[in-house]
Structure 1
Amino acid sequence: MRRRTTLMAGLRLGALLPAAAGLRPRPALAQAGFPNRPIRLVIPAGVGGGTDILARLVAPGAAAALGTPVVIENRGGGESLIGTELVVRSPPDGHVLLFSDTSPYLARVLRSRMPFDPLTDLLPVMRVAVGSIILYAHPGSGIRDLGGLVARAKAQPGGISYGTSSTGSHLLGELLRMRAGIDLVHVPYRSGGLALNDVLSGHVPLTFNGASNGKGFVQSGELVAVGSAGEVRNPSLPDVPTFAEQGFPGFPAGSEWGLFAPAGTPAAVLDTVEAAFRQATFDPGLAGRLGELGFSPDGTRGAAYAEEMARAMRLWGEVAAAAGMVQQ
């Protein structure tokens, strides 16, 4: 799927996007010769998902700081590899960037062969935001917390199933299964909405799903939020305790979004890009909207971000191998 949208400061995009400042280069962000044309911001997913929404929230501010239009280009398909490869093969001059969740990296741990290696062919510029996957249960399941789930699963080996629509959510389920020593049955879905619908109808008792997807159903009592992955509670569901608070530490959040550039992009250009997107991400005017949608601005810088990504992929690689998820 391909869609191009130009985002410039002052462009009215409705309630979703805040107004941006004037398109005048700011000296603190200026880098000689860069940018000298619009920035292409490639999203390796379709329109309307979490990655797309977050990108469209921060892009206007980044365009204002850089003094040039930011053209959002949705290139979904191939488990995020089509859009990612477009960026990997682009000239490393900062004018083509990737805005993505961890899908390209997770593809690496699930595939024995890849057309590129995101750990070496991409440079993490900045982790823009983190979220957290929520474990939801049907109220009729009787599962209210992780302790209850583990007890039930040990009493009924192989008798409890959970639905997911993403690799990250599936890996979280496998990690819980391994660390808790329980037998859960995975049910794959094409979308998070379909998985959520089956839990709402009682066909499947559990789903690992996005915070914004299930928030309304938790508030209405149609779903129980069992726990939140990650180190901190999700801002959109602040009353839901983390896995760590329930005695299961060390679970990654399962949701994060970052900005990436092709390997070989000059450090000065990376610094300019990072400064612009940092300014946009931490705009006080965005804070409420980001929190409402379950996004927590992060800002981890390139080198530290790269180290954390490599460490996370080692963990997920071990989980995928143990679960037999690696494709030959």
Structure 2
Amino acid sequence: MTLNRRTLCLAAMAALCNVPLARAADYPSRAITIVVPTPAGGASDSAARLVAASLSAAWGQPVVVVNRPGAGGAIAAQAVMDAPPDGYTLLWGLSAMAGLPLVQKGVPYKALSEFTPVANVVELGFALFVNRELPVQNFADLVAYGRSHPGQLHLATGTLGEYMLAERVLKAAGVQARRVPYKGGAQLMPDLISGQVQINFGPIAGGLQHAKAGKLRVLATALPQRSPLLPDVPTFAELGVSSGTLSFWNALFAPAATPPEVAARLSAAVARALQAPAVQEPLRASGTEPLGSTPQQLAEAVEAASTAWATFVRDYGIAQE
């Protein structure tokens, strides 16, 4: 049989059209890498490793967590943007990364929506932690101390989400603090415990063990109601302080142009992983709530986060640095 150029072109087009289905049908057939934008040992990293272990066991394929901290998540984002869109390199994205292009120059994406959404994975509960040597017993004491010592409090932030929460709460309370940025919670916690910095609005999962050991004090949480892990700690709402409405989620994204069938397969696998007691129990024990979502639901969460960040930047006069 003789094949002319038109026949060959049509055959090539048909083959290309079938690529996504072929990829989805045997996905995953090799190791998957999850790129985490925070250092090892923090709340987001710990959640990512729990989910990765569960996915690996279910698939019989390695799921490797690689930490690429720095630049607010831009380094990790760039690594995933440079990867082939086949579902084998994923970004463990933080909700605050939706605001990164608004506050930082040189970010490789204009909007987090440029990535392929896969699944919203967990939501982190946040709390206000302070150094034990700071002469405050509650939030009212902190406000009084901060007002009488303007600019002398050092605020540690490990992510942009922590920065947003701190700005909202402290400005509402009339307290000034000097921001000291870190690459993540695992780096800032030793300095918070030693007193090199005095306050942090961070994930409950990152500071809970230190608070229970008496190394830190917890003054309030940014939760809808009191946490069963911290029943004696009031919420900011109870204290009459607005902490905003943005949820602090961690989600999985793939590079742009990843086949939707692959994203859907991944999303379903994450939902199953989050049902496992070996994943649920340690997450909830650390103040982290398992979520699970469809790609479309994550896309909607990204849109909400982008809007919240645009409003925050406008209302608080945050300059791009």
What TM-score, normalized to structure 2? 0.77
SS in 2 for 1:241: coil
Counterpart-to-counterpart distance in 2, 1:78 and 1:277: 27
Contact 1:43 1:76 in 2 (8 A): yes
SS in 2 for 1:244: coil
SS in 1 for 2:319: coil
Contact 2:39 2:186 in 1 (8 A): no
Q: Name the structure 2 match of 1:225.
A: 218
Contact 2:155 2:200 in 1 (8 A): yes
What TM-score, normalized to structure 1? 0.76
- Answering whether residue 177 of structure 2 is matched by residue 185 of structure 1, we say yes
Number of equivalences: 298
Which of 97, 114, 118 pairs up with 1:104?
A: 97
Shift of 1:273: 0.4
Q: Name the structure 2 match of 1:18.
A: none
Shift of 1:128: 0.9
- Please tell me whether Structure 1 or Structure 2 has the larger radius of gyration of its CA atoms: 2
Counterpart-to-counterpart distance in 1, 2:215 and 2:32: 43
When residues 161 and 35 of structure 1 are mapped into structure 2, their CA distance, relative to the original with a 3 A threshold, is closer
When residues 219 and 63 of structure 1 are mapped into structure 2, their CA distance, relative to the original with a 3 A threshold, is closer
Which of 34, 53, 70 pairs up with 2:27?
A: 34
Identity %: 31
- Answering whether residue 113 of structure 2 is matched by residue 120 of structure 1, we say yes
When residues 179 and 215 of structure 1 are mapped into structure 2, their CA distance, relative to the original with a 3 A threshold, is same
- Answering whether residue 268 of structure 2 is matched by residue 295 of structure 1, we say no
Q: Name the structure 1 match of 2:201.
A: 208
Counterpart-to-counterpart distance in 2, 1:42 and 1:204: 29
Residues 225-280 of structure 1, C-alpha deviation per residue, up to 9 Å, x if partnerless? 11112335456435433222333355347642111112322322211101111111
When residues 216 and 74 of structure 1 are mapped into structure 2, their CA distance, relative to the original with a 3 A threshold, is closer
Shift of 1:157: 5.7
SS in 2 for 1:296: strand
Q: Which runs of 5+ in 1 are unaligned?
A: 1-29
Counterpart-to-counterpart distance in 2, 1:192 and 1:64: 28
Contact 1:41 1:98 in 2 (8 A): yes
The two structures, once aligned, show a CA RMSD in angstroms of 3.2
When residues 127 and 242 of structure 1 are mapped into structure 2, their CA distance, relative to the original with a 3 A threshold, is farther
Counterpart-to-counterpart distance in 1, 2:115 and 2:223: 25
When residues 90 and 233 of structure 1 are mapped into structure 2, their CA distance, relative to the original with a 3 A threshold, is farther
SS in 1 for 2:34: strand
Shift of 1:174: 0.8
When residues 205 and 58 of structure 1 are mapped into structure 2, their CA distance, relative to the original with a 3 A threshold, is closer
| 1:309 maps to amino acid | V
When residues 306 and 269 of structure 1 are mapped into structure 2, their CA distance, relative to the original with a 3 A threshold, is same
| 1:183 maps to amino acid | V
Residues 133-192 of structure 1, C-alpha deviation per residue, up to 9 Å, x if partnerless? 211234565544445544655666656553333322122111113444x13222314354
When residues 167 and 177 of structure 1 are mapped into structure 2, their CA distance, relative to the original with a 3 A threshold, is same
SS in 2 for 1:134: strand
Contact 2:103 2:319 in 1 (8 A): yes
Which of 282, 285, 290 pairs up with 2:278?
A: 285
Contact 2:34 2:64 in 1 (8 A): yes
Counterpart-to-counterpart distance in 1, 2:65 and 2:30: 14
